[in-house]
C-alpha cells in the first residue's frame, strides 16, 4: 500500500484511524491561535495604481487573480472537523455550522447579512462529531435542519430547525459503528430528503425520511472503501442521485449509483490521487456531464476528472499540484471571469490554493495563500450577497472558521492633480 508519512499527528494508517482522531490531544494551549483581527488583503496600493494606469493606457491584463477580504476569524468549538453552509435562520443569507471534535458540540454561526457573523451558539451532540450537513428534512416547514455524524457516539443526530436559528431537541439515531460522514439527498423518490451516512470505516447506510419526524434505517453496502467524506450528485445523468465516497487508501473515489428507488449499484472506483479525501462535483469542461474535482491528501494535489456516464463515470483529465495535505476542494468563479476556478484547503501547510480556470476544464497553476490554521474543511457560497462565491476555512487548530470574502471590485482609479 502506498502511504506517505502523514504529518497530521492523530492520523495513522490503520483502518481504525480513518477516523483520524483519537482521544488524546495535545494541550490546545500549545497551538498557535490565530488572532481574530479582520484584515483587508487587497492588492498593494502601488500595484493597484499600476493596474489602473495599465487599464487607462489601454493595456488589458489577463484574468486577474482573485482578491479576498479577510480572513476574518470567528471562534467555533475546539478541533472542528467539518462544516456546512445553509440559511439556518431563514433570513436569506448563508449561515455556518461546524462539527467540533473536542467539546462534542455543533457550532452555529448566523450571518449578519453582509458576510460577518454573530458569535457561535454551541449545541451538544453525542461523542466525537466528525461531519455536519444542512438540509430541509421536515418538508412542510421549509426550515433548514441540521444533521451530525458522531463517530465516538456511533450515531447520527438530527436537529430540526425552528426557522429562527434555534432547533428542537435533537434525536440521535444509533449506528453499529462510528459514523464518518453524512450527506442529504432524496434517494428513494419519497416525499422528503434522506440522510446518507458512512460508518464503521467501510459501510454505507441511509436514514430514509418521512418528511415529518421519522427516519427508517437501511444498510446499503459494506465495501472496502475508507471514506471521511460523502458527496451527492447525479454522476451519470439519469436523474437519480448517486453517492461518492473518496477512498483514502485506494486513491480513488467509490461511486454508488442510485436507481432513485433506494437501491444502489456499486461501488465503482474511479481514479483520483493518493489518499483521496474530498470530492466536489461541478460542470468544468462545458459538456452536459457533471465533472469531478478531488482533493488528494497524500499527493498534495487536486485531480480533475471529466464525466463520461457509465460504466466508469469519470475519466481522469489532469492532476494539479495544490498544497501539503490537500483536504477539501470548492469549485466557483473567484476572479469574476465567468470561468469556474478551484479552491483547495491544505491541512499540513495551512494554506489555501486557488487555481484559475481556463474555461475548458483545465486550470492554471495554483496560487497559494497563507490562510487558515490546519484547515480540515472548505465551504463555498455567497456570504455577503454580492453575487460571487466566498469561502470559509474550518480550522482544526484554530478552533475557528476563517471567512474570506471574494473581492472583485475594480482597481482604484488614480488621478494625478498635476501642479497646484
Positions touching Ca ion (CB under 5 A) are 87, 89, 91, 93, 95, 111, 234, 236, 238, 240, 242, 333, 335, 337, 339, 341, 357, 382, 384, 386, 388, 390
- What span, in angstroms and rounded, lies between the C-alpha atoms of 133 and 401? 16
Closest CB to Ca ion among residues 68, 397: 68
Q: Could you tell me if 390 and 70 are in contact, meaning their C-beta atoms sit under 8 angstroms apart? A: no
Q: Could you tell me if 399 and 75 are in contact, meaning their C-beta atoms sit under 8 angstroms apart? A: yes
CB of 94 to Ca ion, least distance (A): 6
Q: Which three cell numbers stand for residue 336?
A: 469574476
Closest CB to Ca ion among residues 10, 382: 382
CB of 336 to Ca ion, least distance (A): 7
- Bridge partner list, 299: none
CB of 390 to Ca ion, least distance (A): 4
Closest CB to Ca ion among residues 291, 384: 384
Closest CB to Ca ion among residues 17, 339: 339
Closest CB to Ca ion among residues 141, 382: 382
Closest CB to Ca ion among residues 181, 243: 243
Q: Which of 231, 352, 366, 350 is nearest to 294 (CA)?
A: 231
- Specify the residue for cell string 440521535: 172
Closest CB to Ca ion among residues 74, 297: 74
CB of 297 to Ca ion, least distance (A): 25
CB of 110 to Ca ion, least distance (A): 6
Q: Which residues of 147-156 are buried (b: 16+ CB within 10 A; e: fewer)?
A: bbbbbbbbbb
Closest CB to Ca ion among residues 89, 247: 89
Closest CB to Ca ion among residues 174, 286: 286
Q: Which three cell numbers stand for residue 382?
A: 455567497
CB of 2 to Ca ion, least distance (A): 31
Closest CB to Ca ion among residues 89, 131: 89
CB of 335 to Ca ion, least distance (A): 5
CB of 310 to Ca ion, least distance (A): 9
- How long a stretch of residues is the chain? 420
Q: Could you tell me if 225 and 254 are in contact, meaning their C-beta atoms sit under 8 angstroms apart? A: yes
CB of 95 to Ca ion, least distance (A): 4
Q: Which H or E run contains 267?
A: strand 264-271
Q: Which H or E run contains 307?
A: strand 301-309
Spatial CB neighbours of 289, under 8 Å, sequence gap ≥ 6? 237, 306, 307, 308, 309
Q: Could you tell me if 365 and 320 are in contact, meaning their C-beta atoms sit under 8 angstroms apart? A: yes
Helix (H, G, I), strand (E, B) or coil at 359: coil
SS3 letters across 2-62: CCCCCCCCCCCCCHHHHCCCCCCCCCHHHCCCCCCCCCCCCCCHHHHHHHHHHHHCCCCCC
Closest CB to Ca ion among residues 145, 388: 388
**For the chain, what is the radius of gyration of the CA atoms?**
21
Q: Which three cell numbers stand for residue 76?
A: 467555533
- What span, in angstroms and rounded, lies between the C-alpha atoms of 231 and 233? 7
- What span, in angstroms and rounded, lies between the C-alpha atoms of 93 and 330? 19
- What span, in angstroms and rounded, lies between the C-alpha atoms of 355 and 340? 9
Phi, psi at residue 16, to the nearest 5°? Answer: -55, -35
CB of 17 to Ca ion, least distance (A): 32
CB of 67 to Ca ion, least distance (A): 12
Amino acid at each position: 500500500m502506498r502511504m506517505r508519512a502523514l504529518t497530521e499527528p492523530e492520523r495513522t494508517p490503520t483502518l481504525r484511524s480513518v477516523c483520524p482522531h483519537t482521544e488524546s490531544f495535545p494541550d490546545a494551549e500549545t497551538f498557535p491561535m490565530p488572532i481574530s483581527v479582520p484584515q483587508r488583503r487587497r492588492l498593494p496600493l502601488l500595484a493597484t495604481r499600476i493596474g489602473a494606469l495599465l487599464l487607462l493606457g489601454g493595456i488589458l491584463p489577463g484574468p486577474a487573480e482573485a482578491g479576498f477580504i479577510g480572513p476574518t476569524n470567528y471562534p467555533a468549538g475546539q478541533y472542528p472537523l467539518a462544516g456546512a453552509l445553509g440559511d439556518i435562520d431563514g433570513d436569506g443569507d448563508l449561515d455556518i455550522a461546524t462539527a467540533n471534535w473536542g467539546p462534542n458540540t455543533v457550532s452555529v454561526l448566523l450571518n449578519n447579512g453582509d458576510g460577518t457573523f454573530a458569535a457561535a451558539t454551541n449545541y451538544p451532540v453525542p461523542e466525537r462529531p466528525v461531519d455536519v450537513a444542512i438540509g430541509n428534512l421536515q418538508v412542510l416547514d421549509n426550515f433548514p435542519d441540521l444533521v451530525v455524524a458522531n463517530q465516538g457516539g456511533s450515531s447520527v443526530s438530527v436537529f430540526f430547525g425552528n426557522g429562527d436559528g434555534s432547533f428542537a431537541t435533537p434525536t440521535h439515531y444509533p449506528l453499529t459503528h462510528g459514523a464518518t460522514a453524512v450527506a442529504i439527498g432524496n434517494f428513494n423518490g419519497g416525499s422528503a430528503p434522506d440522510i446518507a451516512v458512512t460508518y464503521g470505516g467501510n459501510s454505507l447506510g441511509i436514514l430514509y425520511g418521512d418528511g415529518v419526524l421519522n427516519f427508517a434505517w437501511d444498510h446499503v453496502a459494506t465495501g472496502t472503501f475508507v471514506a471521511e467524506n460523502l458527496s451527492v450528485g447525479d454522476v451519470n445523468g439519469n436523474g437519480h442521485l448517486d453517492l461518492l465516497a473518496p477512498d483514502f487508501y485506494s486513491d480513488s473515489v467509490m461511486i454508488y449509483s442510485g436507481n432513485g428507488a433506494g437501491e444502489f449499484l456499486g461501488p465503482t472506483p474511479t481514479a483520483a490521487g493518493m489518499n483521496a479525501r474530498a470530492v466536489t462535483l461541478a460542470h468544468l469542461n462545458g459538456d452536459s456531464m457533471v465533472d469531478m474535482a478531488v482533493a488528494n491528501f497524500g499527493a498534495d494535489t487536486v485531480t480533475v476528472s471529466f464525466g463520461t456516464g457509465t460504466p466508469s463515470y469519470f475519466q481522469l483529465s489532469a492532476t494539479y499540484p495544490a498544497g501539503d495535505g490537500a483536504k477539501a476542494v470548492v469549485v466557483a468563479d473567484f476572479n469574476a471571469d465567468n470561468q469556474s476556478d478551484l479552491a483547495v484547503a491544505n491541512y499540513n501547510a495551512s494554506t489555501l490554493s486557488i487555481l484559475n480556470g481556463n474555461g475548458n476544464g483545465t486550470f492554471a497553476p495554483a496560487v497559494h495563500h497563507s490562510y487558515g490554521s490546519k484547515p480540515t474543511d472548505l465551504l463555498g457560497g455567497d456570504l455577503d450577497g454580492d453575487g460571487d462565491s466566498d469561502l470559509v476555512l474550518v480550522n482544526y487548530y484554530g478552533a475557528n472558521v476563517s471567512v474570506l470574502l471574494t473581492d472583485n471590485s475594480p482597481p482604484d482609479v488614480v488621478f494625478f492633480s498635476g501642479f497646484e
